[in-house]
């Protein structure tokens, strides 16, 4: 087989298992990128194209009083007025009827200009270290860190103060999470599974197919580890789980997907039931919940039967039988719908226009190039007549996603109608179209499925906090909770698009963003 100069992951190829980059280019890239990585966070700000991030400066005060706002607390289905929020350090100390502000002599008094205040949003399915670059070359590696920084920034600037990351590079996740926790960079609170425990049979990779598996230690060091671990057999699975826990994983994630996102009968490898049980047992050992990627009915059924805590993605190839939903509810499970990954198949042209017009706000130059190229290729394949062999190699057929979309919305409606726990998860970072800053597009799909604005807002706040076992800290605006607070221009109970106009973001009492609000 002819060697390539770059590692491609656009279509299925069992050779993704190997580190396919020629030796001379690899050494050149390693030397250049390694030296920049050792500069740490200071090096990031000097990389061209990173100015949109490096100009940021947040601010905090020991004591704050917020006033002149309408409050959605994620408890009541109405906006409350004439209140003052009392914040000390990182905590909400009180919610009081607004009186004479002069009584708060030791506080920074902040006028929120009549905006609507909400709890910080929570996205329970992201991949924040994905660089949106699918071929590994010099630009990919040199622009990876600044792209991750973009991801963190755009995530929190859109009002998301907490995310659950369910797949990424452990070294990158831990590094950037620590920087965001210290408010050295703008970014959300990150709860992470680190690398998912994915399957393979020899060199044949299971989902996620687009994630190559690297054995070269230098390349793994540059990337911060593998995006997905690929153990074979129960003992290797146990070892991989233990490694993720020791690296700081707060969840464990694995995958079950019988075939690609297409009509092709090509079978993907999965773990055995004993392998999945080993993951669940490791989670139980450490008090860690386990998530299962399952975009097909077979995976939903497997996840319910084995007792995973959350299921990731709405099944697309049929309608879920009632008995499985009933068991799902009885088991107190939750699902992250990620409707956007299917719905984007209808709006690829619009996403391309957005990348062309405003791509620099979301993506590094190489990411713009590779992401737009991949989306254009998707549109071209819709119009072309592929051979049977070429079609079998596809990882994602856009027409298949369109054809299956009625099943996706039917399952969302059915789960909601039967009383299942549904969180809000976008899979931003998991596709070639889902870049950070688009969380509201996921919420709009729930509204289109007939779910009320109140329920959707709760899914993105208090319900997600419950799924994370963090309902005592985040998800509502109540006394004693962390001061994760956003202010938007408009009433999201009437129009969910109001969350697109985020004017202020506070994470743990720290002002990360403010537009038109005097903090001087």
Same-domain status, 290 and 341: yes
Residue 290 has pLDDT above 60, yes or no: yes
Same-domain status, 216 and 128: yes
Confidence of residue 223 (pLDDT cuts 50, 70, 90): confident
Residue 48 has pLDDT above 80, yes or no: no
The stretch 303-330 carries a mean pLDDT of 98
Nearest to 477 by CA among 502, 500, 506: 506
CA atoms of 303 and 292, how far apart (whole Å) = 7
The stretch 330-356 carries a mean pLDDT of 96
CA 462, 162, 247, 237 dihedral sign is positive
Same-domain status, 313 and 460: yes
Same-domain status, 65 and 170: no
Confidence of residue 64 (pLDDT cuts 50, 70, 90): very high
Alpha helices in 208-295 (DSSP H): 217-223, 234-247, 273-286
Same-domain status, 465 and 351: yes
Same-domain status, 345 and 429: yes
Confidence of residue 350 (pLDDT cuts 50, 70, 90): very high
pLDDT of residue 448: 97
Same-domain status, 219 and 82: no
pLDDT of residue 152: 98
CA 384, 392, 203, 280 dihedral sign is positive
CA atoms of 279 and 273, how far apart (whole Å) = 10
Confidence of residue 50 (pLDDT cuts 50, 70, 90): very low
For 153-199, how does the pLDDT look when each residue is reduced to its tens digit (9 = 90+)? Answer: 999 999 999 999 999 999 999 999 999 999 999 999 999 999 999 99
Confidence of residue 136 (pLDDT cuts 50, 70, 90): confident
Residue 36 has pLDDT above 70, yes or no: no
Confidence of residue 259 (pLDDT cuts 50, 70, 90): very high
Residue 33 has pLDDT above 70, yes or no: no
Ranking 126-140, 379-393, 440-454 by mean pLDDT, the lowest is: 379-393
Nearest to 124 by CA among 397, 302, 338, 319: 338
Same-domain status, 249 and 161: yes
CA 131, 133, 134, 139 dihedral sign is negative
pLDDT of residue 54: 58
pLDDT of residue 425: 98
Same-domain status, 113 and 170: no
Tokens (6 digits) for 278: 């080993």
Total domains present in the chain: 2
Same-domain status, 55 and 192: no
Q: What average pLDDT is seen over the chain?
A: 89
Same-domain status, 96 and 245: no
Q: What angle do CA 82, 88, 93 make, to 5 degrees?
A: 55
Residue 243 has pLDDT above 50, yes or no: yes
Confidence of residue 381 (pLDDT cuts 50, 70, 90): confident
For 162-172, how does the pLDDT look when each residue is reduced to its tens digit (9 = 90+)? Answer: 999 999 999 99
Domain of residue 196, residue span = 121-474
Contact (Cβ atoms closer than 8 angstroms) between residue 409 and residue 108: no
Q: Are strands 70-71 and 502-507 parallel, antiparallel or unpaired?
A: unpaired
Contacts of 454-458 with CB under 8 Å at 24 or more apart are 454/77, 454/493, 455/416, 456/424, 456/496, 457/72, 457/74, 457/118, 457/492, 457/493, 457/496, 458/74
Residue 29 has pLDDT above 50, yes or no: no
- 286, part of any domain: yes
Confidence of residue 78 (pLDDT cuts 50, 70, 90): very high
- 29, part of any domain: no
CA atoms of 224 and 27, how far apart (whole Å) = 17
| CATH number of the domain that residue 401 is part of | 3.20.20.140
pLDDT of residue 150: 96
| CATH number of the domain that residue 63 is part of | 2.30.40.10
Cα radius of gyration rounded to whole Å, the chain: 23
CA atoms of 498 and 515, how far apart (whole Å) = 15
Give the DSSP per-residue string, 458-484.
Answer: HIIIIIHHHHTT-TTTSSS--TTSB--
- 24, part of any domain: no
CB proximity list for 230: less than 8 A, separation 6 or greater: 17, 198, 199, 200, 205, 213
- 5, part of any domain: no
Nearest to 484 by CA among 505, 460, 515: 505
pTM for this predicted structure: 0.91
pLDDT of residue 222: 84
For 268-287, how does the pLDDT look when each residue is reduced to its tens digit (9 = 90+)? Answer: 999 999 999 999 999 999 99
Same-domain status, 93 and 179: no
pLDDT of residue 46: 22
Residue 291 has pLDDT above 80, yes or no: yes
């Amino acid at each position: 087989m002819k060697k390539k100069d770059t590692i491609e992951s656009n279509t299925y190829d069992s050779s993704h298992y190997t580190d396919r980059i020629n030796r001379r280019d690899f050494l050149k890239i390693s030397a250049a990128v390694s030296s920049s990585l050792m500069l740490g966070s200071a090096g990031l700000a000097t990389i061209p194209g990173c100015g949109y991030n490096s100009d940021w400066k947040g601010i905090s005060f020991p004591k704050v009083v917020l006033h002149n706002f309408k409050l959605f607390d994620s408890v009541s289905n109405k906006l409350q007025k004439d209140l003052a929020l009392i914040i000390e350090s990182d905590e909400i100390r009180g919610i009081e009827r607004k009186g004479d502000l002069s009584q708060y002599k030791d506080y920074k008094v902040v006028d929120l200009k009549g905006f609507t205040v909400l709890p910080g949003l929570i996205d329970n399915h992201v991949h924040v270290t994905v660089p949106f670059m699918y071929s590994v070359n010099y630009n990919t590696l040199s622009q990876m860190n600044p792209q991750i920084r973009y991801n963190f920034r755009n995530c929190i600037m859109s009002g998301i103060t907490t995310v659950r990351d369910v797949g990424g590079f452990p070294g990158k996740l831990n590094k950037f999470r620590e920087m965001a926790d210290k408010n050295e960079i703008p970014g959300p609170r990150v709860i992470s599974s680190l690398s998912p425990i994915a399957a393979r049979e020899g060199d044949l990779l299971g989902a996620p197919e687009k994630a190559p598996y690297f054995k070269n230690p230098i390349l793994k060091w540059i990337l911060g580890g593998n995006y997905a671990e690929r153990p074979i057999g129960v003992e290797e699975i146990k070892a991989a789980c233990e490694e993720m826990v020791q690296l700081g994983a707060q969840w464990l994630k694995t995958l079950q997907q019988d075939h690609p996102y297409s009509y092709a009968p090509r079978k993907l490898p999965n773990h055995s039931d004993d392998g999945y049980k080993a993951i669940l047992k490791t989670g139980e050992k450490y008090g860690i919940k386990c998530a299962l990627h399952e975009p097909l009915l077979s995976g939903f059924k497997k996840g319910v039967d084995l007792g995973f805590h959350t299921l990731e993605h709405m099944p697309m190839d049929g309608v879920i039988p009632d008995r499985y939903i009933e068991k799902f509810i009885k088991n107190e499970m939750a699902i992250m719908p990620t409707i956007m990954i299917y719905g984007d198949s209808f709006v690829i042209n619009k996403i391309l226009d957005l990348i062309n017009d405003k791509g620099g706000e979301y993506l590094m130059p190489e990411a713009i190039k590779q992401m737009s190229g991949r989306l254009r290729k998707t549109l071209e394949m819709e119009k072309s007549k592929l051979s049977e062999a070429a079609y079998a190699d596809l990882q994602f057929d856009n027409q298949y996603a369109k054809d299956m979309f009625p099943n996706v919305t039917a399952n969302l409606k059915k789960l909601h109608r039967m009383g299942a726990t549904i969180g809000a998860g976008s899979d931003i970072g998991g596709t070639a179209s889902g870049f950070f800053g688009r969380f509201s597009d996921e919420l709009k799909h729930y509204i289109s499925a007939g779910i009320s604005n109140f329920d959707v807002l709760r899914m993105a706040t208090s319900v997600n906090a419950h799924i994370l076992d963090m309902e005592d800290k985040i998800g509502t605006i109540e006394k004693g909770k962390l001061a994760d607070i956003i202010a938007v221009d408009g009433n999201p109970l009437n129009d969910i698009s109001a969350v697109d106009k985020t004017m202020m973001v506070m994470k743990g009492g720290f002002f990360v963003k403010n537009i038109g609000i005097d903090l001087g």
